[in-house]
Every structure is written in C-alpha cells, then in structure tokens.
Amino acid sequence: MLLDQYVSTEETLRRLLRSRICTKCLARRGLDNAARKPDEVLACQAQCPIFLTLPTLTKYVDNLDSLVGSYDGVVHAVAASCPTCDGDVDWRSRHRRGCRPECPFRIYGHEVAHLLEEVGRRLHG
Ligand SMILES: [Zn+2]
C-alpha cells in the first residue's frame, strides 16, 4: 500500500519518514504533533531539513545508479548543504562543521539512507 503505483516516490518517502522517523523524532517534542496517520502533514515539517530537501533526495532515489554510489553518500551530500544548518561555519578552519548535533539530518541521516535504499530497491528491482 505504501508503494502504490499511483503514489509518487516523493509521497512514498514522505509517508515512510512520518511513520518511521517522525514518530520518534526529538524535534517533534512540544509541538502539536501527536501520532497521526502517515499521510497527515506535521507542524514541524516546514522547518525540517529532511522534508525541505526531500525533492532532491527523491531525485536521487528515482535516478540513482547503484554503481554511482551509496545512499549514505547521497544523504551526506545533501546534508552538506543542509537548509537549517547553513552558515554554521567553524570560525577557525572556515569550513562548515556540518549539521548541528540537534539537526534531524545528523540524528537520523543513516536511517534516512536506509529508507531511501529500501524505496530505491523496490523501484529499480
Ligand atoms: Zn542540518
């Protein structure tokens, strides 16, 4: 049902994120995000870097050639320009530190990669 052929890859990912990751995400605490159905929009979605970059992640899932790289690499590459951690630059090295410790990408990145891989495998066989 989650991979209904009439549901887009992006919507499939969105539902899986909500049912597998959002349900335990620390960022939801204190928000009006009581457990709901996976197709319902959560209040924190608009500020979540995972949801904000979902169109990009979806493109990788739709097009990823397994020879090109891993989904962990995809998540790492997308998180490198994380929309909610942008500008968090180490003043000494002048390099980006990557995601802040509380960033959902930092906390759930590996699980997101698993989820992308799962959907990618079902798409491409
Ligand atoms: Zn981040």
Give the pLDDT confidence of 52-106 residue by residue, as tens digits: 999 999 999 988 766 557 898 889 888 888 888 865 555 565 555 678 888 899 8
Q: What pLDDT digit, counting tens, does each position of 101-125 carry?
A: 888 998 999 999 999 999 988 888 7
Instruction: Report how far ligand 1's centroid is from the alpha carbon of 44 (Å).
Output: 14
Q: 3-state SS of 2-68?
A: CCCCCCCHHHHHHHHHHHHCHHHCHHHCCCCCCCCCCCCCCHHHHHCHHHHCHHHHHHHHHHCCCCC
C-alpha of residue 86 to centroid of ligand 1, in Å: 7
Chain segment 81-90, per-residue pLDDT in tens: 888 886 555 5
Q: How far is the CA of 76 from the centre of ligand 1 (A)?
A: 10
